Amino acid sequence: MTPESPDPRDIPILTEAIEREKEQTVTLNIKDAASALISETIELADSLLHTAVKDIEGTLFERVLDKLRAELPELVNRVLAEQANKRAGSDAAEV
């Protein structure tokens, strides 16, 4: 069995290749493409910002809670001492 020699008429010519490319070429509507890009970009930005806000909220919450834990004992002691001094002063004034 010998391989058949290709028929020169079966070889595509340049114009046929160009025609095939034209058929496969996708036309791009600039306004639709721009609209889709803008929409997708806004959706991504929205998602990223929501994530960032949640991270920031969590960080701020932890900072405030840590500060409260650190300062609350001193605040309670100071207010109790002030109240005790006021009470002691008013008891001395009553005598």
Going by pLDDT thresholds of 50, 70 and 90, the confidence category of residue 28 is confident
Greatest pairwise CA separation for the chain in angstroms:
131
Q: Which domain holds residue 66?
A: 51-95
Sign, Cα dihedral of 8, 12, 16, 18: negative
**Could you give the number of structural domains in the chain?**
1
Question: Is 86 within a domain?
Answer: yes
**Does some domain include residue 33?**
no
pLDDT of residue 1: 47
Place of tokens 């070429």: 25
Residue 37 lies in a domain: no
pTM: 0.48
Does 95 map to a domain? yes
Question: Per the domain annotation, does 41 fall within a domain?
Answer: no
Asked, for residue 62, whether it belongs to a domain, the answer is yes
The top-scoring range by mean pLDDT among 8-17, 19-28, 82-91 is 82-91
Asked if residue 36 belongs to a domain, the reply is: no
Alpha-carbon gap, residue 95 to 88, rounded angstroms? 11
